Structure 1
Amino acid sequence: MTALNINAQIAVIGAGAMGAGIAQVAAQAGHPVLLLDNRPGAAAQAIEGIDRQLGKRVEKGKLSDQARLATVARLQAVDNIAALADCALIIEAIVESLEVKRALFRQLESLCGEHCMLVSNTSSLSITSIAAQLDHPQRLLGLHFFNPAPVMALVEIVSGLASDPSLAECLYDTAKAWGKKPVHTRSTPGFIVNRVARSFYAENLRLLQEGAADCPTLDALMRDAGGFAMGAFELTDLIGHDVNYAVTCSVFDAYYGDTRFLPSLIQKELVDAGRLGRKSGQGFYHYADGITRAQPTEVTSRAVVDTCVVEGDLGVANALLARLREHGVEVIQRDGHGVVRVGDAVLALSDGRMACQRAREDGLDNLILFDLAFDYGQASRIAVSCCANIDPTALQQGVALLQRAGLSVSQLSDSPALAVMRTVATLANEAADAVLHGVASAADVDLAMRAGVNYPQGPLAWADAIGLGHILTVLDNLQAGYGEERYRPSLLLRRRVAEGRALHD
């Protein structure tokens, strides 16, 4: 089935920010759009708001005034559901209540022709459950936009147990024709993005709770080393802690209390205090005028190092060696087990063990562990940890070597897998389970995380680049270190390592 004809009339029910955004997307694509809201005048006000937003784009030279006028002309506010009877596609964007949505779709089913597609923009409710009371549940699917809908590229095409696959393909092609990046997903809790992304928040919140580092430092590491657009604390402040915490609780409950999705007591306390982030003026950070945000912590060294010895293969961190050479450090290579020696210090990429544990088990004195970076050639910051009894001179030498590469160094407490490594490993693990459980394909999972939450790379492709064997080792060591099921490796990950295959094979 191909995309809906451009002349097909579309309706959006709900004129809030999301509904208005979806209506704008459809109208800009050329469709006539009806906008309905149960609040008197709300639909007309939403269209006026769309006009203003488009006007700002005209002022900036990003849109012609002719295109603005044409888009607004395609939008029509209606005040009666009966006006939607002849629509080809109806998208609801109303309150997240199962019973309210069920009642609406029962009404729409009796009103509209058999070829009208009924679609929910729900972000958390089961499409299967919403459709269960319909006479023709195959007509109902999910079309999950991300806020703001005119800007965010991703659209999740959600199929319930009874959803017609041909309608899912039609929605996919239609969303693509609208300039979006659609992905297919089954109706499971959190779909793709709200399931996989939980690890990004959860692991940073756990590091904060354990005192590994403060918010500015962890956020800086996610940005400057991990390549993420924002750190977890500034991002949850932007989303709103009431919203983010509620989604986490919803996913946790839906998966019968699986500890991978365990909500954070730190975030609950913020919600209880009314510190919801930017919208309340305070969350993890203060947003009042005149308040300067604290800077990330750094360790510096005045030690002079000109030479290092690399023993064996550093894997994904090999790019660090070229950077050291570019900054005038002589790099001597010889056989070994993947460590860098400088002075009395030994540096190694984290494998998920604490520094004190790895130093004892591997017989390495003065061990400094360094974190994962998305691109060791471009990163501006790196995290390190070391055991408590490290020689201070050796620590200075290790830090000096990383500084010679042009990296700011932030020291964390001796925490398993540091910050970026543990975040990426757990993201990849959850993504692998989503593929294993048939929620979505590997390609769609990675596309969803790039287009939906702006990750620098899809977590499955990222794991392939790091090496699945290393990711599995990190997760095994995290699970052993914490003694928790939270870090149990996905069966798909174990299988691919045993087969010698990548997750994208």
Structure 2
Amino acid sequence: MTDLAPPHPYKQAGIVGTGAMGRGIAQLLAQSGVTVRLFDSNPEAVAAAIAQIGDTFARLAEKGRMDPAAAKAASARLQPAASPQALAGCDLVVEAIVERLEAKRALFAELEGIVDAGCVLASNTSSLSVTAIAAGCARPQRVVGWHFFNPVPLMKVVEVVNGARTERGIVDDMVALSRATGHLPVVAQDTPGFIVNHAGRAYGTESLKALSEGVADIPTIDRILREQVGFDGSGFRLGPFELMDLTGLDVSHPVMESIYRQFYDEARFRPSVITAQRVAAGLLGRKTGEGFYRYADGKQESPAEPPVPSVPVLPPVWVAPGPRQALVAETAAGLGATIETGEEPSAAALVLVAPLGLDATAAAGGLPAERVVAIDTLFPIATGACQRRVLMTTPATRPEWRDAAQALFAADGARVSVLRDSPGFIAQRVVAMIVSVATEIAQQRIASPADIDTAVRIGLGYPRGPLTMGDMIGASAILEILANMHRLTGDPRYRPGAWLRRRAQLGLSLLQDD
């Protein structure tokens, strides 16, 4: 237990369910000075869990990451429980059983007949309502959510979930216990997905939406989100389809559907028929050897990118007026293009536009669409400042002009992706939706802005928290992307919320609470 950790009342805890999550929670508690009794419907699983956690402590001691005496003491705090009755006398019981509401309700109802009135019942549920679980209890005020992420010892954030009838003092005690384990607690109100699984909807679902529109193929979308997006040099470690393959669609698709339905079909969380079909086909990802990608000996098979077109002579370039005109012109000139400066493009010019939230067709209004190519400028495009640039054509853009634009923007060795026409390219629409969902979580007071940012950054491994992402890009730019997408598509998933609109209008940080 850390010396600076605030005191908590828990001396003896019970763990029900000794799978990966139950074992991880037991390890944290034992390591923090709490005696832990482990129960599982399979007695052999309890013995295996105690042995495995003990081995973990021994390895930590061998590597110098844990004092040998402390490791021995922590192992001694792990005790088997032959039945639920053996959990009598616990101050806290944590369930980490199957993710089914009735199973959790039945367990807590049984435990209420065993433990003292003051014993806290905590659920590690990731997607079920803590309030609904507690509704089956005689004393729902003692039920709290305590949601860890896998692997528990390494994922240093935990959501303390306040059910509708949870006593505030219990939330405070669980926050203190979380800190004593070395984890960072974030407090969430009981809403579908809490903070992390709620905020995580945008990355996958918006990428699926772009895929369903035929904007680009799976590898291209993954490459863009890995290589184009960057916040002070940090980006997404995995593309959305790589991530879904790693998680498994049998896990991620039901969560998409569950959160969508629990929010009464909120358009921002609308799932995709693409994942439903792949689940039905058994294409679940790495675990089945095929998902969005094929896997041979555990290694992802991904097609090579097509070569950059060969263009003997680059045409002159004319850049449409707008706030990003100078940036695009300067970049194109640095790559060897001759820049036209007239009020209109000549008949020989490649026409470049740089929209936010618009498609290339809308941005090309009044311009020769057959020569128009759009470039995404939300993230750096200058020479030496980017790994990948992203272009987009109108349905009328002729191949020779598309090829000329691709050859130009690949001249310094940067990779270039070319999309079919889409409001918001790929990076704009995905990042804007990540920010949008987070601002709605803040607006609904599900958690504080700071906790939202912390939970999502650590829990999902994002390069920055979503509200910080919005601040780094600019709230007004995010608002413009969403407003333009909403206007063009009519889809309510893109409607900007009040939290975003007010802070953009007032020039405030998206982390500014009120």
Question: Structure 1 residues 101 and 223, CA, compared in 2 at 3 Å: closer, same or farther?
Answer: same
The residue number in structure 2 matching 1:504 is 511
The residue number in structure 1 matching 2:103 is 100
- For the pair 1:81 / 2:84, whether they are aligned, the reply is yes
Question: Structure 1 residues 262 and 224, CA, compared in 2 at 3 Å: closer, same or farther?
Answer: same
- For the pair 1:211 / 2:219, whether they are aligned, the reply is no
**Aligned equivalent of 1:9, options 6, 9, 12:** 12
- For the pair 1:495 / 2:502, whether they are aligned, the reply is yes
- What is the CA–CA distance in structure 2 between the aligned matches of 1:201 and 1:119, rounded to whole Å? 29
The residue number in structure 1 matching 2:252 is 244
- What is the CA–CA distance in structure 1 between the aligned matches of 2:94 and 2:296, rounded to whole Å? 38
Check conservation: 2:314, 2:337, Cα contact below 8 A: no
- What is the CA–CA distance in structure 2 between the aligned matches of 1:307 and 1:70, rounded to whole Å? 74
Shift of 1:302: 4.8
Check conservation: 2:10, 2:92, Cα contact below 8 A: no
Please show how residues 31-110 of structure 1 align to structure 2 within 5 Å: 31-54=34-57, 68-110=71-113
Question: Structure 1 residues 22 and 371, CA, compared in 2 at 3 Å: closer, same or farther?
Answer: farther
Q: What are the superposed Cα offsets for residues 276-305 of structure 1, whole Å, 9 maximum, x if unpaired?
A: 111122111112339761235356255577
- For the pair 1:112 / 2:115, whether they are aligned, the reply is yes
The residue number in structure 2 matching 1:285 is 293
- For the pair 1:144 / 2:147, whether they are aligned, the reply is yes
**Aligned equivalent of 1:356, options 361, 366, 370:** 361
Question: Structure 1 residues 357 and 8, CA, compared in 2 at 3 Å: closer, same or farther?
Answer: same
Shift of 1:365: 7.6
Q: Share of identical aligned residues, percent?
A: 39
Match of 1:169, SS? helix
Larger displacement relative to structure 2 (132-141 or 425-434): 132-141
- What is the CA–CA distance in structure 2 between the aligned matches of 1:469 and 1:6, rounded to whole Å? 47
Check conservation: 1:270, 1:276, Cα contact below 8 A: yes
Query: Which amino acid counterpart does residue 32 of structure 1 have in structure 2?
Result: T
Check conservation: 2:147, 2:159, Cα contact below 8 A: yes
Question: Structure 1 residues 302 and 62, CA, compared in 2 at 3 Å: closer, same or farther?
Answer: farther
- What is the CA–CA distance in structure 1 between the aligned matches of 2:331 and 2:158, rounded to whole Å? 39
The residue number in structure 2 matching 1:132 is 135
- What is the CA–CA distance in structure 1 between the aligned matches of 2:57 and 2:389, rounded to whole Å? 42
Match of 1:287, SS? strand
- What is the CA–CA distance in structure 1 between the aligned matches of 2:280 and 2:191, rounded to whole Å? 29
Query: Which amino acid counterpart does residue 287 of structure 2 have in structure 1?
Result: K
- For the pair 1:314 / 2:317, whether they are aligned, the reply is no
Unmatched runs of 5 consecutive residues or more in structure 2: 230-234
- For the pair 1:449 / 2:459, whether they are aligned, the reply is no
Please show how residues 339-488 of structure 1 align to structure 2 within 5 Å: 344-360=349-365, 366-371=371-376, 379-390=386-397, 392=399, 394-404=401-411, 406-488=413-495
Shift of 1:109: 2.9
Shift of 1:383: 2.1
Shift of 1:447: 1.0
Larger displacement relative to structure 2 (391-400 or 345-354): 391-400
RMSD: 3.4
**Aligned equivalent of 2:187, options 168, 184, 187:** 184
Check conservation: 1:298, 1:410, Cα contact below 8 A: no
Please show how residues 168-183 of structure 1 align to structure 2 within 5 Å: 168-183=171-186
Please show how residues 238-277 of structure 1 align to structure 2 within 5 Å: 238-277=246-285
- What is the CA–CA distance in structure 2 between the aligned matches of 1:101 and 1:62, rounded to whole Å? 36
Larger displacement relative to structure 2 (107-116 or 182-191): 107-116
Query: Which amino acid counterpart does residue 203 of structure 1 have in structure 2?
Result: E
- What is the CA–CA distance in structure 1 between the aligned matches of 2:458 and 2:220, rounded to whole Å? 26
Question: Structure 1 residues 35 and 274, CA, compared in 2 at 3 Å: closer, same or farther?
Answer: same
- What is the CA–CA distance in structure 2 between the aligned matches of 1:97 and 1:178, rounded to whole Å? 27
- What is the CA–CA distance in structure 2 between the aligned matches of 1:224 and 1:461, rounded to whole Å? 19
Larger displacement relative to structure 2 (404-413 or 64-73): 64-73
Question: Structure 1 residues 21 and 270, CA, compared in 2 at 3 Å: closer, same or farther?
Answer: same
Check conservation: 2:378, 2:473, Cα contact below 8 A: no
Question: Structure 1 residues 172 and 17, CA, compared in 2 at 3 Å: closer, same or farther?
Answer: same
Larger displacement relative to structure 2 (406-415 or 346-355): 346-355
- What is the CA–CA distance in structure 1 between the aligned matches of 2:378 and 2:336, rounded to whole Å? 20
- Normalising by structure 2, we get a TM-score of 0.86
- What is the CA–CA distance in structure 1 between the aligned matches of 2:329 and 2:27, rounded to whole Å? 50
- What is the CA–CA distance in structure 1 between the aligned matches of 2:125 and 2:78, rounded to whole Å? 23
Shift of 1:392: 5.0
- What is the CA–CA distance in structure 2 between the aligned matches of 1:372 and 1:454, rounded to whole Å? 24
Check conservation: 2:370, 2:394, Cα contact below 8 A: no
- What is the CA–CA distance in structure 2 between the aligned matches of 1:30 and 1:361, rounded to whole Å? 71
Larger displacement relative to structure 2 (399-408 or 288-297): 288-297
Query: Which amino acid counterpart does residue 132 of structure 1 have in structure 2?
Result: A
- What is the CA–CA distance in structure 1 between the aligned matches of 2:470 and 2:274, rounded to whole Å? 29
- For the pair 1:232 / 2:235, whether they are aligned, the reply is no
Check conservation: 2:50, 2:78, Cα contact below 8 A: yes
Question: Structure 1 residues 265 and 328, CA, compared in 2 at 3 Å: closer, same or farther?
Answer: closer
Check conservation: 1:299, 1:409, Cα contact below 8 A: no
Check conservation: 2:335, 2:409, Cα contact below 8 A: no
Match of 1:86, SS? coil
- What is the CA–CA distance in structure 1 between the aligned matches of 2:288 and 2:389, rounded to whole Å? 32
Query: Which amino acid counterpart does residue 248 of structure 1 have in structure 2?
Result: M
Q: What are the superposed Cα offsets for residues 249-273 of structure 1, whole Å, 9 maximum, x if unpaired?
A: 1111111122222221111111111
Check conservation: 1:383, 1:412, Cα contact below 8 A: yes
- What is the CA–CA distance in structure 2 between the aligned matches of 1:375 and 1:149, rounded to whole Å? 36
Shift of 1:144: 0.5
Match of 2:128, SS? coil
How many pairs does the alignment contain? 498
- Normalising by structure 1, we get a TM-score of 0.88
Check conservation: 2:124, 2:147, Cα contact below 8 A: yes
Question: Structure 1 residues 172 and 335, CA, compared in 2 at 3 Å: closer, same or farther?
Answer: farther
Shift of 1:394: 4.5
